[in-house]
Amino acid sequence: MSDSDVTTTEAGRVDSVPSGAVVVGIDGSDRDETCIRWAAGAASRTGRALHLLHAQDIAVELAAANPIAARGLAFVPDLVLDSTVLSTALERARAEWPDLDVTGSEPWMHPEEALIEASDDAYLIVVGSSRISGLERLLLGRSALAVSLHARCPVVILPEGARTDAEGPVVLGFDGSDGSRAAAERAFWIADVRGTSVRTVTSWYAEVVDGSVVTTPGTPAWEQVEGGYRRMVEEGIADLRERYPGVDVDIRVLRGPAAAVLTREAADASLLVIGSRGRGGFRGMLLGSVSHKVLETATSPVMVIRGPKR
């Protein structure tokens, strides 16, 4: 390994991410291989660089060597960086994807802070998440959740065991909001690049027609509700159908809790794309409750979109 293989930055800085790169967070765990493989596929299909980011938490390192200093971080000694995780990952990635421009960095920062800062220059952030043993929900680690909340570029969360190929449909959660329209832009573009289809999923639960809650399939009231939602979807994606005529579209309007419907319909998907509502400003950005539940329960890769950036 040459000195240029690994870039180490001073505490609190990430300044070596190539502009427009696909950035993947690694931590030396078993998740790294899946995350790097997914990110490399995205980089290859879009002609972008791949950047491996292995942030090391100063507080954790200090706690191991000097618990007193770690409490206040008033004193930061000359830390000796162990680049084994990153250098090994770089070597494997370059061997498997020799045509990709693969770089890496190891800032002394909390991992979530490093990834969020990297999102200013990144095209896409990829991060993994682990499943709680014996449960159907995901334990959204601090990094995965924080990056989903605050990144300034699209973020892909890879659940443990998620597929890394691009063969299945791209599933789009669509409710007519600005966030879902931005997600639709990205979903159609990805499907076009991959040569696959888009499956739009719109859910509804409690609707009232003529003073009564709609509960019986096949009734005129049921058909009225579903017809209204279908028209909303058709109108919302009409321009995208024109721009991407080669992308087949399957529109599904289904009754049920939004998160449960989305994760069920995306079980065979290569990617689930959802929008995230934001209120502007770092502290004000909020991940919608549906998006949060989807991230906890999905078995497919999930992309969270904040804007139409491709």
Q: Share the mean pLDDT of the chain.
A: 82
pLDDT at 81: 55
Domain residues for the domain of 89 are: 3-159
Residue 89 scores a pLDDT above 90: yes
Are residues 97 and 240 located together in one domain of the fold? no
Are residues 42 and 131 located together in one domain of the fold? yes
The count of domains in the chain is 2
Are residues 61 and 199 located together in one domain of the fold? no
Are residues 78 and 220 located together in one domain of the fold? no
- Per-residue pLDDT of 204-220, as tens digits, reads 888 878 777 787 888 99
The candidate with the shortest Cα–Cα distance to 196, out of 7, 56, 68, 41, is: 41
The candidate with the shortest Cα–Cα distance to 106, out of 216, 215, 213, 8, is: 8
Are residues 178 and 154 located together in one domain of the fold? no
Higher-pLDDT residue of 7, 193: 193
Residue 135 scores a pLDDT above 50: no
pTM: 0.83
Average pLDDT over residues 2-17: 55
Tell me the pLDDT band of 307, cut-offs 50, 70 and 90: low
276 assigned to some structural domain: yes
Q: What SS3 class is residue 64?
A: helix
Are residues 113 and 212 located together in one domain of the fold? no
Are residues 8 and 153 located together in one domain of the fold? yes
The CATH number of the domain holding residue 59 is 3.40.50.620
Are residues 60 and 126 located together in one domain of the fold? yes
- Per-residue pLDDT of 28-40, as tens digits, reads 888 899 999 999 9
What is the spatial distance between Cα 299 and Cα 160, in angstroms, rounded to a whole number? 8
**Single residue among 113, 137, 159 that ends a domain in this structure:** 159
Tell me the pLDDT band of 70, cut-offs 50, 70 and 90: very low
pLDDT at 218: 87
Are residues 199 and 88 located together in one domain of the fold? no
Highest mean pLDDT among 5-19, 100-114, 290-304: 100-114
CA distances from 131 to 138, 139, 144, 271, 301 (A): 4, 6, 12, 18, 13
Average pLDDT over residues 173-194: 93
List all residues 6 or more positions away from 166 whose beta carbon is below 8 Å from its beta carbon: 41, 45, 194, 196, 270, 271
**Single residue among 135, 159, 183 that ends a domain in this structure:** 159
Average pLDDT over residues 236-255: 97
Higher-pLDDT residue of 140, 253: 253
What is the spatial distance between Cα 41 and Cα 45, in angstroms, rounded to a whole number? 6
Average pLDDT over residues 241-270: 95
136 assigned to some structural domain: yes
pLDDT at 12: 45
pLDDT at 270: 95
165 assigned to some structural domain: no
Higher-pLDDT residue of 75, 214: 214
Residue 300 scores a pLDDT above 50: yes
